Structure 1
Amino acid sequence: MVSIIGLDSDKVQQLCDAANEEVEEAEKVQIANFLCNGNYAVSGGVKGIEVVEAKAKSFKARTTVRLTVAGPAHTRFMDPALSQLESALSATEIKTPRIPVISNVDAQPHADPETIKKILARQVTSPVQWETTVKTLLSRGLVKSYELGPGKVIAGIVKRMDKTSLVENICA
């Protein structure tokens, strides 16, 4: 996985398409995280990621940042894990939440436990729609949010989208 900084989503898609022309099917890449305008993560095979990194400057990307991950999350390459996850979720009791769950798959609120299970399974193979999710939260009245753990990446993204948002970082 690699973060592409400084390109819009269309340019990142063009970059992925160009990289995919040079690699075998198992090494192809796709956008895995739509974080915010100018910040997208690409995931896939190692060779595909290397080609993306090599071509990024020619597409006018400001920089790339290799991410340490265990696999090509949020892409079709995770299809083999889907049936196991669906099986585990079918055996898991999920109660109707007190507040709707906003999914990163479709950036929509969900309250039905069976729908939530299906959306959770899809999350492993679907790109994260973080930018649209934050816009949904802001449109529904989000005034303060919390970022758990070290770093302030999420706070930075939220602030880029709405400078008046309050984001508190909570780190152990």
Structure 2
Amino acid sequence: MVSWRETSVDDPAAHQLLAEYFASRAQGFPASQGAYRTTFPRPSDFVPPHGVFLVVEADDEPGEPADVGCGGIRMIEPDESGGIRFEVKHLWLQPRTRGRGYGRALLAELERRALACGADELVLDTNVSLEAAGALYRSSGFVSVPPYNDNPNATNWYAKPLRPGRSSPS
């Protein structure tokens, strides 16, 4: 079973998970794109109602740590029409838990919380080397969009309209 714990990004468990995430990204980052740039998130960006950070807890492996992943959303600048946008950040699961549907469940929970905060659109960026992540985003209704930020680690940008009648830029 999987559940969520809302916390600050500087909570010790969240910080540890983020450190694991950044280490795994740095290790697997394509050399052709230079060095991976680690930037720990600002805690103030992930405070309701302008954001939230979740730690994924799983209790299906007795004797294993319960904190197995993390992810958050934060409000960013409005879209071209003034719509409220939230960005998915640092969605990550420990390798031992992958393939269990936790990533899809976490993404759905972040989407639910973004809607509750009034978001019209959810956006995210990723790197082409993260093939499973890209597949998850596309199968969850995200579509490719032009870059909305200047993240040096990103090669792909996605958006998903959350309100009827809204469409993502193409």
Q: Where on the TM-score scale, by shorter chain, does this alignment land: which range?
A: under 0.3
The structure richer in strand per residue is 2
- Higher relative contact order (CA closer than 8 Å, sequence separation 6+): 1
Q: Which structure is larger by alpha-carbon Rg, 1 or 2?
A: 1
> If the length of structure 1 is used for normalisation, what is the TM-score?
0.26
